[in-house]
Amino acid sequence: MALWFLFALMTAAAIFAVLWPLSRGDGSRGGSDIAVYRDQLDEVARDRTSGLIGESEAEAAKVEISRRLLAAADDAEKATRDTQQGAAPLWRRRVTAIAGLTLLPLGAVALYIYLGSPQLPGEPLADRSRATNESQPIEDLVAQVEQRAAQNPNDGRAWEVLAPVYMRMGRFDDSVRAWQNAIRLNGETASRQADLGEAMTAAANGVISIDAKAAFDRALSLDKEDVKTRFYLGLAADQDGKRAEAEAIWRDLLAHAPPGAPWVPVVRQALERGAPPSQNATPPAPGPSADDVAAASTMNADEQKQMIGGMVARLADRLKQDGSDVEGWLRLVRAYTVLGERDKAQSAATDAKRALAAEPDKLRRIDDLAKELGLAG
């Protein structure tokens, strides 16, 4: 009860401090100004008598002071009339101030009694934390989860939260590491393996490496209907020159797509990209078999790089025979860049421009990729 009384007293004091000056009439300075100007006239007369100022200066000062004296007298007379005429409004203002001083605190108390209650529980901490997190920058949230993962590296939940966020932020290598930790700590699922393969592909600028292909194959063994896995396996076949196999995978996906599936446009775009197999001048070079991929998973880094180099070499040989395959040229330039062979990437881009010189649309795609990868020329 004492707390209520203290709050009421503080509210009344604050309102009174604001309303009281508003209820007072404006004081007039006319009388004090007149007295000051008269003193100035007397001072000028004394200075003239004592010889401190000349006759002309004294007359000029008297004229200016007299002008101000007359203006002050007019202001004082006007203020007196206004005070007499405003007596009734001043009384009403003071009544309004007193009413506000009394009614506002009473109204506030009544509103609180109607809408609020001191017995209501506080907002749960989880809700307050959620509200804070919604307005918190994504970088700060990621930093918090990263700190948690650093303090407890075996927290699989933290790694699984970080992995897709890294992917959206373009931190593909970090996403690969996070998915590997999530799989190690939380167990293997088709979805996690597919996401790992996707992150590896993004880290390699769209080239499906041996490790990425192995992750997709593992995901397919766990779930033969996983859409992401099947799409990327079709992309892997396409990159290996197996266009017919890629199209078969993608067409089967579209045939069994549920109504309104958000991934349908992506699959259709992949199907529309590139020439149909029947229009290829020469058959594509075969890519690695499932046994090759399984064997590659046991290779060391140098052996894997050598195997990838062989695949790239076969792709380059095929493009020498059929230079109209713009998708093949794009894959070849990316592959050389991933392998760190920028001179070969530049040379492949130059060869592609020469082979596609009569096709402006395809030539523009080569130029765009060269600019994206920072290749000179």
Assign residue 360 the CATH number of its domain: 1.25.40
Task: Please report whether residue 107 resides in a domain.
Answer: yes
Tokens of 286: 């075969």
Tokens of 42: 């007397």
Which band of pLDDT confidence, cut at 50, 70 and 90, is reported for residue 284?
Answer: very low
Distance of alpha carbon 334 from alpha carbon 205, whole angstroms: 7
- The single residue listed with the structure tokens 């202001």 is 75
Mean pLDDT computed over 301-320: 69
- The single residue listed with the structure tokens 């797509």 is 257
- The single residue listed with the structure tokens 């096709």 is 359
Task: Please report whether residue 124 resides in a domain.
Answer: no
Task: Please report whether residue 251 resides in a domain.
Answer: no
Tokens of 230: 């099947």
Q: Which of 114, 143, 158 represents a domain boundary (last residue)?
A: 114
Tell me the pTM. 0.42
Which band of pLDDT confidence, cut at 50, 70 and 90, is reported for residue 294?
Answer: very low
Number of structural domains the chain divides into:
2
Q: Look at 140 and 122; give whichever has higher pLDDT.
A: 140
Using CA atoms, how far residue 288 sits from 214, 232, 244, 291, 294, in Å, is: 12, 15, 15, 8, 10
Task: Please report whether residue 295 resides in a domain.
Answer: yes
pLDDT of residue 327: 82
CA-wise closest residue to 14 among 87, 105, 82: 105
Position 252, amino acid? D
Which band of pLDDT confidence, cut at 50, 70 and 90, is reported for residue 369?
Answer: confident
Q: Tell me if residue 303 falls in helix, strand or coil.
A: helix
Task: Please report whether residue 280 resides in a domain.
Answer: no
**Residue-wise pLDDT tens digits, 14-48:** 666 666 565 555 544 555 666 776 777 777 777 77
pLDDT of residue 286: 39
Task: Please report whether residue 170 resides in a domain.
Answer: no
Percent of all residues in the chain with a pLDDT value above 90, rounded to a whole number: 17
- Other beta carbons within 10 angstroms of residue 301's beta carbon come to 7
Q: Which of 95, 114, 133 represents a domain boundary (last residue)?
A: 114
Tokens of 52: 């401190």
Residue 37 C-alpha from the chain's centroid? 68
- The answer on pLDDT for 55 being more than 90 is no
CA-wise closest residue to 235 among 249, 225, 222: 249
Tokens of 154: 């075996």
Mean pLDDT of the chain: 74
**Side-chain-side CA neighbours of residue 256 (13 Å):** 10
Question: Residue 373 in contact with residue 336, Cβ under 8 Å?
Answer: no
- The single residue listed with the structure tokens 């300075």 is 29
Q: Which of 64, 80, 114 represents a domain boundary (last residue)?
A: 114
Distance of alpha carbon 44 from alpha carbon 237, whole angstroms: 109
Range from 114-123, 166-175, 230-239, 280-289 carrying the lowest mean pLDDT: 280-289
- The single residue listed with the structure tokens 């000056």 is 21
Task: Please report whether residue 143 resides in a domain.
Answer: no
In terms of average pLDDT, the best of 66-75, 119-128, 163-172, 314-323 is: 163-172
**Residue-wise pLDDT tens digits, 91-137:** 666 666 666 666 666 666 666 665 655 555 555 545 545 544 444 56
Mean pLDDT computed over 251-274: 85
Domain holding 65, by residue range, is 2-114
Task: Please report whether residue 19 resides in a domain.
Answer: yes
DSSP code of 283?
Answer: P
Tokens of 284: 């594509």
